[in-house]
Structure 1
Amino acid sequence: MADAVVGFVVEKLGNLILQEAISLHGVRGEVEWLERELRRMQCFLKDADAKKNNGDDERVKNWVTEMRDLAFEAEDIIDTFMYYKLQQMQSGVMGFIKRYMYVPVELIHRHKIHVDVRRIEVEIQKLSESRTRYGIDNIGETSSTNSQCGSQDVIPILPQLNDDIDMVGFDHEKKTIVQGLVDISNKNRSVISIVGMGGLGKTTLVKSVYNDPRVKRSFDIFAWVIISQEYTIFEILKRISLEVSATSSRDTILDLARAISEKLKKEKYLVVLDDVWRENVWDQLQKVFPDVDNGSRVIITTRFLNVAKIADPTVQPHELRLLNEKESWELFLLKVFPRQDIETSCPVYLVDFAHQLIQRCRGLPLALVVLGGLMSTKSKSKDAWQKVVESMKWQFVEGGEKCLKILALSYNDLPYYLKSCFLYFGCFREDMAIPIKTLNRWWSAEGFLPTKNGKTTEAIGLDCLEELAQRCLIQLTGRKYDGSAKYCRIHDLLRDMCISEAKENRYLEIYKNDTVDCAAVTNAARRLIIFNEFETLTYSNSKLRGLFYHGGMHNPLIFKALNGQLSGFKLLRVLNLNLYMSEFPSEIKSLIHLRYLRLLANNMKEVPSWIGHLHNLQTFTVGGGILVNISDSLWTIESLKHVELFMISLVNPPNMANVVLKNLQTLKGVSAGSWIRYMLQTLTNLHKLNIRKVTNDHANALYVSLQKLGRLASLTIQGYEIPSDNVMTAFSNQHCLKKLYLDGKLNCKKLPYNDVFPQQLVKLVLCLSQLEQDPMPTLEKLPCLKYLKLGAGSYTGKQMICSATGFPQLLFLEVRGCDELEKWKIEKKAMPCLKSLELISCQKLKVIPEGLKNVSLEQLLMKNMPEELKSRIEENTGEDWYKIQHVPNISFKYYD
């Protein structure tokens, strides 16, 4: 009887397995077809996007929107299929019987996928037929330059192009440019470039320069030509020929160019090329602007820094800034109350409203001009102005729409992949300094970055950022010693435009618990942004790809609002939880598409074993609190690229010599242990490494492992005692190492000879090293060193000498907490490039070096230094003032 029952069960189970296999085979084939179709749709959308952005054909716009939504649905179906497939794979042998207990449920899922694929197939057919039916069958077949044709009717309405212009805030820039134009000592034909985002006042500034009496007296021929986005060389040459009165026998490019060049050779000319968008414009035109040593000039205005640099690499472009509060007030009132005294024009009862409106413009001249023009038409009553303040959403305010359309020119011109990258800026708070590293990893996790042979995704992401900055859509800030940027920002109006465009395309939604925008209306956005604290998240969207929580980080109870909902977002790729939590959310284990995970720990002791279920995870970041244990399963995730523990970490990676993390590039915050011997040497693609709690016991293991990490670019070693002999000997194989941070006592009294250090080092930080002999003879010979910090306790000697020709590229030097230092000598020609010097808490250093008078410093900071030193450097009266009087920025501070 028992055998019969077992036989019956086995037979039924076998039938279910066979049925499932047949079903799986069929669905897999359909999903593979859908994947191919999705790739075709995505390629088509890239082409069609250009025409959709024209805004001149509502049929095209709606059609592209339908195709985009269909592509989203196809992507969802494919990811859902992969979700169930990966869940099956994770169950393993032990889950075999259990899995087949739920075969009917899985068959239902597969049937639904089958139905969805068929529906998509039908919808694609309908869309294809509608192209011909509604006369839009040429979509996507035009060149990419068509993406800009809708902008031409916008440009003429720019206030800056009016003859009666108001220029505010650029007096210094104007003076500098005018001096460059009329400089009779410069006989070369030179190109002057003015660079800035749309609406920043480039054309206004150049108009003022162009009409300046000194400029008018200095040139014989003048020409002003608007290039803009759509252009042909023939049209540009034709306009120039008309401006300079050059005649040609035939209207061909060659004849026009020859006629213009011959005309300009005869006299001193000034030509303005306004609104240049393409790098090749100058390459195509420069031959018509002859250089005959008569001081002729060309002025270029552009949104793109690379255009300016190509035009004349020898001349520094003029990068325009935003207006400050005073300048903004002046420009705004000039438009609201024309031909009135600025000091008295605004009624007292409107001053507060005016300030609120001005603050909204964030110093952008175009926004101030457009908004000022709008307010000039309003009644000068409190009610009228208050209504505008309360309804201050640019996309809905008359006049603001005009501003956004002009700002959107740069966005519409972006390549397809860069548009997705740019829209991600809507995920950040207003006015936020955005960490470039984080943004880059989000892009990578989303799959936005194109592939380029020989380049990592991180390098490609940085290229994208540079291009966005060159187009003046963002600003790169927080420049580091090597010129690279650490943060970036986006202007508020551009962010508004970004969010508006993103919402229209279901790219993202900003959640507000006091409205029904998300919960009741769309519920289909690909990303959800949460800025406010809330008790309950009333939002359900199984198609979500990114969840970003930026608030409530000081209240661990706030995470309860997400309990029970995370598992519903099963297609998530990016999960950024900027809030504290006391335990690792168990729901995360079901998010098997996750590529980026960041959270803050509050007494979170361990990361559980199921972390290994996240087979696609690329970035794992935990900050805050104390972390004692991370399950070994984390280190089995082959896709891992970055592991960062920004916290008090007692975590030792496992002693797993067989682990092959070939993609791991960043490992930060781990404690030293036996894993250094067994596992570290296998991480051959590691770029950044930060190890804590190092002791002499780890000397040999570090020596062996570091020698095998030939791609290491950044190394941080912290510990009570650092086995410097072993570590530095291992540097002989470090040909990529540029940043080195040693925090702890070195088991040597002096640094080794220079040739032991990696010669390509750019940044070096030494703290608590307790060196007894002067480190400068070794460090000054490092040819690429740009940043040097001698931290507290790094040097215990009394004298330092920087010899002639030492530190040939050093830009930044900090000397801190060298308690015994009494004398510092800087020989002539030492540190020829030094720009910033910080002297902090060196209590026995009472006289600054004589040699500082030969160093081209731009900034000198002295903090918590002896009072005697301060008196010696008093401006004009101090006996050492002559040593630093050439330094433009000097500050002397004490700790609070």
Structure 2
Amino acid sequence: MQNDRLSDTNSCIPTSLSFVYMPLHLSLSPMAVYAALLSLARSLHQILHFEKYKEKNVSLHEKVHFILTFLEDYSDKYSGAIALLGDEIRRAAYEAQDFMESYLCSISANYSSSEKMALDQDLNIAVERIHFIWEEVVKMKNRDAADQDLRSRTHSSPVDDHSSTVPKKMVVGFDDELDAIKEQLYEGPTKLQIIPIVGMGGIGKTTLARKAYEDSLLAQHFDVCAWVTVSSEYQRRGILLQLLLSFEKLSTHHDELSRASDAQLAKLVYQNLVGRRYLIVIDDIWSTKAWDDLKLNFPNDGSTSRILLTTRLSDIAIHAAGSSCTWFHQMNVLNEDQSWKLLKERIFGQESCPLQLMEIGKKIARNCRGLPLTIVVVAGLLLSSGNLTKEETWENISENISSKEPTIELQCSKILCLSYDQLPLRLKPCFLYIAAFPEDSQIDVSKLIKLWVAEGFLKPSDHSKCLEDVGESYLEDLVNRSLLLVSQKGPDGKLEIVGIHDMLRDICIKKADEERFLSLVSSKWNAIKEFLENRNRRLRIHCKHDFQEWMIPVSSIRSVLLFSDRYYTTRLFIYCRRLSILDAPEATWPNFSDIISTFVNLRYIAFRLDETSCPHGFPASISRLPNLETIIAHIFNIRRLRIPCEILEMPKLRHLITNAPVRLSFASNRSPVVLHQSDLQTLETVVNYRFTEEAIKLVVNLKKLKVVFATPKGGWDDLNLDNLFRLQNLQELQVSVSSNPSMTWNHAFPASLVKLTLNGIPLPWERMDIIGSLPNLQVLEVIDTPGADASEWTPVEGQFLRLKYFFSTLDYLVKWEVEKEHFPSLESLILKHALWIDEIPCGVGEMDSLQLIELQNCTESLVNSAKEIEQQHHENGNDSFQVRVVKVLF
């Protein structure tokens, strides 16, 4: 029926849309229905501008959003009715979505008139079903409006209102244990000591180890400090790489290390530890085999080194410590007083608990059975309730966690399930998406939010708020509820890396499976059969072996997330052309350049750009994908790569990211043509971007730019750097110079900047007023400033008014005169290889806002001056002030 050209894309049009669905289940939860409608709304948005179906699709769009709003507001009250309609709603949503995607596929292929007629029939069926569901929902809402009592119905307010009152994470009941661990770390025999911490999941082993690891004396006492997480999915090679990449001098050698053999990696670990006093934290070790595989890499040469390990199994701790074990810490659950103290401090901080809540609060704490994880999760539930001091709120939670389960584990599981059940509907798909990430993953926040956007999970609260901002607020909400862990914050205080506790991850995976939200695959055996039988829209693949090939046939799958360690060889073959999301940055995809343009529904792609996948460089055909919003290219062994400027003209592109510098190729005989308001928000990393009038128009809405400058053929004037200040939406800018420039930087920066990083920029310290005048700047990093002569710098009062974080190497700066008024908001001063000055200026120590001075590879005199400042702060009662020293140069 179809010609050869259509054989690849014909999968976009099933003869009968109904065959792709599972048999009807009795019911589906509001979350499953909500997620399906969100995806439909996302697809509808893609084709609203097509005139042929515009009127019909606008009507459909309005009805879908009406149903979504109803679910958000009334899913608790009408959960039974929604459950009965659930399969019908999801089926209708998927049918409509399939039509939208099929229509987009038809644009890129010569479909016959009969096929186009079938598309119209499918759309009519989908519209009728959505209309029927809309009518039922309208009836439910009208009945509700008629009930006077429900007019006063209140809903949970967003947790954002309480986020400022959430106290810092505390270690309650562990003070004595923490002191004992520190004693073992800093004192005792010179031989290598193994320090085990043992306890059940959720009891606080990792928290306790982390508190010890973050002690301010640690970096001064040990030459090398490293933290590795083992987990139940242990892989020796991965642990060795974790260790090596945590060593400072090897941290930038990822590609070289990934090509080394296991034996070479093991040898490198040993060589970097021998003769040095080291501390290694091995978190969450599950087997004696894992310890036996690793122990030979740790030299025992009398250097007073220590290994701190956490495990749930006492047998492993005894085996690891062996006959040299002089200290063994078995963690116990908190007693009732400690439990109540932790709950109270998590909710009220240093304020007192209202008297009317004391009794019920102690009951809640008691029912948590002394497990810290359950206590902080329950605290998150109360904080997000929207009415923290209302007794009824506390009573409801107390009833839901009544201690009837026979074991602590079952009670904890019940509480964690409750934390999911109590989530607002808008947050549930976002939380379940975490199940896609492997165990103990360090989840990049920027990537996660981009995936949420592409999935359609985010709804702007108003027309002026962009989806990425909504994603940040959703993420903060999940963190404030203690469902996600903060692993790393940026210098501006924004979340950068998050994780999830193993027990919460188990709940997440369980719920994702129950809701038919996500399929998890980790074995290549019978994979094709699994994919064909799979009726979920999202697929997570975890490659655990080398030389795996994954063939994903035509199926209902719309999102594929493939996780593979960089040192594993993985090949990917995909035939379902209606794919919307593909995250496979480590997998090779043969013939990628030839076929990628047929995936017209793609909104997000992260791919490996190598000679196998893209033998002719960056595939220009990507620019023909009409719905693509995010492009993340991981470049391997390709130098001087050029990207055609047409990429920047894509109608919906929001993020273009490469892990290595690339050049934008502007044809000599044409200028960029801007036919629409650019949505591009992120552009990194580009070489010698020329800020001409036309080029500025292409990136006028940029929020983040990372650019590298090398000496251009036409000289520095050829780059039009005077136009840089015109990017008035730019918030983050990183500028690097890769060659020794002959010019002096004398160009203004955009006033909108919040974060600025300058690496190798020839900006004299005397001209720092160019930066100091930026009104919104909070984070400044000035690294490897070239110069020929010693310089002096006296900041201008009235500048740097909002600067909170300053990181610099202070190259060629021999005199730095600072008064407390010069940096009125400074909180963190980080100096690295600051060899030109002998001491921290006294004015720095007088700054009321300053909380941290960190010195990396600095001289002893500079360290001593910082210690004097620390002593002054502590004598004045500012115990939170800290000086952190990482290696002293004598």
- Fold shared, TM-score > 0.5 on shorter chain: yes
| Partner residue in 2 for 1:226 | 360
Cα deviation, residue 739, structure 1: 1.4
> Is the 1:687–1:712 contact (alpha carbons within 8 Å) kept by the matching residues of 2?
yes
Question: Partners in 2 of 1:685 and 1:411 — Cα distance?
Answer: 37
Judge conservation of contact 1:652–1:672 (CA < 8 Å) in 2: no
Q: Aligned ranges for residues 757-776 of structure 1 at < 5 Å?
A: 757-771=773-787, 772-774=789-791, 776=793
Label 1:52 to 1:173 Cα distance change in 2 as closer, same or farther (>3 A).
farther
- AA aligned to 1:678 is E
Whether 1:778 aligns to 2:795 is yes
Q: In structure 2, how many angstroms separate the alpha carbons of the residues matched to 1:744 and 1:637?
A: 33
Q: Deviations over 1:362-383 (max 9, x none)?
A: xxxx99x999x54xxxxxxxxx
CA drift at 1:611 = 0.7
* SS at 1:493 equivalent: helix
Q: Distance in 1 between matches of 2:343 and 2:544?
A: 54
2:557 counterpart of 1:544: yes
Kindly indicate whether the alpha-carbon contact (under 8 Å) linking 1:571 and 1:591 is maintained by their aligned counterparts in 2: yes
- Cα gap change, 1:597/1:459 in structure 2, threshold over 3 Å: closer, same or farther? same
Q: 1:406 & 1:749 partners in 2: Cα distance?
A: 56
Is 2:665 the partner of 1:649? Answer: no
What is residue 669 of structure 1 aligned with on the other side? Answer: 685
One-letter amino acid matched to 1:666: T
Determine the structure 2 residue equivalent to 1:524: 535
The offset of 1:31, in angstroms, is: 6.3
Distance 1:229 1:426, change over 3 A: farther
Give the equivalent residue in structure 2 for 1:423: 432
The one-letter code of the counterpart of 1:170 is G
In the alignment, the residues of structure 2 paired with residue 852 and residue 72 of structure 1 have an alpha-carbon distance, to the nearest angstrom, of 63
1:753 and 1:43, CA in 2 relative to 1: closer, same or farther beyond 3 A?
Answer: closer
Q: Could you tell me how far apart the structure 1 residues matched to 2:353 and 2:518 are? A: 53
Answering whether residue 457 of structure 2 is matched by residue 448 of structure 1, we say yes
SS at match of 1:170: coil
Please report how far the alpha carbon of residue 762 of structure 1 lies from its aligned counterpart in structure 2 after TM superposition: 1.5
1:739 maps to 2:748: no
Equivalent residue, structure 2, for 1:508 = 518
Q: Does 2:642 align with 1:629?
A: yes
User: Contact 2:744–2:762 at 8 Å: present in 1 too?
Assistant: no
In 2, are the aligned partners of 1:77 and 1:116 still within 8 Å (CA)?
A: yes
Residue 91 of structure 2 aligns to a residue whose secondary structure is helix
Which one-letter code corresponds to 1:853 in the other structure? E
Quote the offset at 1:511 in angstroms: 1.2
- In structure 2, C-alpha distance between the alignment counterparts of 1:211 and 1:523, rounded to whole Å: 43
Change (3 A) 1:524 1:629: same
1:818 and 1:64 map into 2 onto residues whose CA distance is 64
Mapped partners of 2:98, 2:176: distance in 1: 57
Q: 1:73 to 1:808 in 2, by over 3 A?
A: same
The answer to whether 1:439 aligns with 2:448 is yes
TM-fit CA distance, 1:279 = 5.9
- The one-letter code sitting in structure 2 at the alignment partner of 1:600 is R
Equivalent residues of 2:360, 2:394 under 8 A apart: no
Q: Distance in 1 between matches of 2:82 and 2:580?
A: 25
How many residue pairs were aligned? 633
Q: 1:126-137 alignment to 2 at 5 Å?
A: none
What CA distance in whole angstroms lies between the structure 1 residues aligned with 2:57 and 2:362? 45
User: Which residue is 1:76 aligned to?
Assistant: 94
Question: Once the 2 structures are TM-superposed, how far is the Cα of residue 493 of structure 1 from its aligned partner?
Answer: 1.6
Q: Deviations for 1:837-888, whole angstroms, at most 9, x for unmatched residues?
A: 3334456x645464752347999xxxxxxxxxxxxxxxxxxxxx99x99976
Contact 1:528 1:544 in 2 (8 A): yes
AA in 2 matched with 1:639: K
- 1:171 deviates by 5.3
The 5 A counterparts of 1:34-45 are: 35=61, 38-45=64-71
The answer for the alignment partner of 2:311 in structure 1 is none
Q: Helix, strand or coil for the counterpart of 2:782?
A: strand
Once the two structures are superposed, what CA deviation does each residue of 1:368-418 show, in whole Å capped at 9, x if it has no partner? Answer: x999x54xxxxxxxxxxxxxxxxxxxxxxxx85553332122222222111
| Structure 2 partner of 1:814 | 830
* Aligned mates of 1:700, 1:211 — CA distance in 2: 61
The structure-2 alpha-carbon separation of the partners of 1:452 and 1:514, relative to structure 1 and needing over 3 Å to count, comes to: same
**1:75 and 1:586, CA in 2 relative to 1: closer, same or farther beyond 3 A?**
farther
Partner of 1:403: 412
Letter in 2 for 1:642: H
Do structure 1's residue 618 and structure 2's residue 629 form an aligned pair?
yes
Q: Which residue of 1 aligns with 2:497?
A: 487
Please tell me the residue identity of whatever aligns with 2:536: A
How far is 1:809 from its partner? 2.5
Change (3 A) 1:432 1:783: same
Q: Partner amino acid for 2:849?
A: C
Whether contact under 8 Å (1:275, 1:300) holds in the other structure is no
Unmatched tracts of structure 1, length 5 or more: 1-23, 54-59, 92-98, 149-167, 176-196, 213-217, 231-271, 287-298, 304-365, 375-398, 860-880
**1:620 Cα deviation after fit:** 0.9
Shift of 1:682: 4.4
2:421 is the alignment partner of 1:412: yes
Higher relative CO (Cα under 8 Å, sequence separation at least 6) belongs to: 2
Question: Is 1:228–1:276's contact at 8 Å kept on the other side of the alignment?
Answer: no
Residue pair 2:630, 2:653 contacting (<8 A) in 1 also: yes
Aligned residue number for residue 189 of structure 2: none
Greater C-alpha radius of gyration:
1
Shift in alpha-carbon separation, 1:545–1:726, aligned structure 2, 3 A: farther
Name the amino acid aligned to 2:609.
Answer: A
Secondary structure class of the residue paired with 2:439: coil
Q: CA deviation at 1:478?
A: 0.8
Give ranges in structure 2 of 5+ residues lacking alignment. 1-49, 157-170, 179-200, 205-332, 345-351, 365-377
SS at match of 2:438: coil
Q: How far is 1:823 from its partner?
A: 5.4
Residue-by-residue CA offset, 1:320-370 (whole Å, 9 max, x unaligned): xxxxxxxxxxxxxxxxxxxxxxxxxxxxxxxxxxxxxxxxxxxxxx99x99
After superposition, the Cα gap between the structure-2 partners of 1:77 and 1:746, relative to the gap in structure 1 and judged at 3 Å, is same
Distance 1:211 1:460, change over 3 A: closer
Q: Is the 8 A contact 1:622 1:644 kept in 2?
A: yes
Secondary structure class of the residue paired with 1:417: coil
Asked if 2 retains the 8 angstrom alpha-carbon contact of 1:581 and 1:601, the reply is no
Separation in 2, partners of 1:691, 1:701: 12
Secondary structure in 2 aligned to 1:668?
strand
Superposition pairs of residues 109-128 of structure 1, within 5 angstroms: 109-114=119-124
| TM-score normalized with structure 1 length | 0.60
Q: Deviation per CA, 1:722-780, whole angstroms, max 9, x where unpaired?
A: 8898865423xx33112112222416574344676414321222223224444642388
C-alpha RMSD of matched pairs (Å): 5.2
Match of 2:707 in 1: 691
**In structure 2, how many angstroms separate the alpha carbons of the residues matched to 1:712 and 1:808?**
24
Distance 1:783 1:203, change over 3 A: farther
Deviation at 1:646, TM superposition (A): 0.9
In structure 2, relative to structure 1, the CA distance for the partners of 1:645 and 1:211 (3 Å cut) is closer
How far did residue 34 of structure 1 move? Answer: 5.3
> Is 1:472 the equivalent of 2:472?
no
SS at match of 2:429: helix
Provide the rounded CA distance (Å) in 2 between the counterparts of 1:858 and 1:749: 29
Which deviations, in whole Å up to 9, do the C-alpha atoms of 1:777-824 show, x marking residues without a partner? 238852222222223xx5224444434544332232233334444555
Contact 2:852–2:882 (CA<8 Å) still a contact in 1? no
TM-score, normalised to structure 2's length? 0.60
**Could you say if the C-alpha distance between residues 569 and 528 of structure 1 is closer, same or farther in structure 2, counting changes exceeding 3 Å?**
farther
How far off is 1:570 after superposition? 0.6
Shift of 1:662: 1.8
Distance 1:754 1:409 in 2: 53
Q: 1:552 to 1:853 in 2, by over 3 A?
A: closer
Which secondary structure does the structure 1 equivalent of 2:606 belong to? strand
Residue equivalent to 1:362: none
Structure-2 residue corresponding to 1:707: 725
Q: Which residue of 2 aligns with 1:790?
A: 808
Give how far 1:532 is off: 2.1
Aligned to 2:195: none
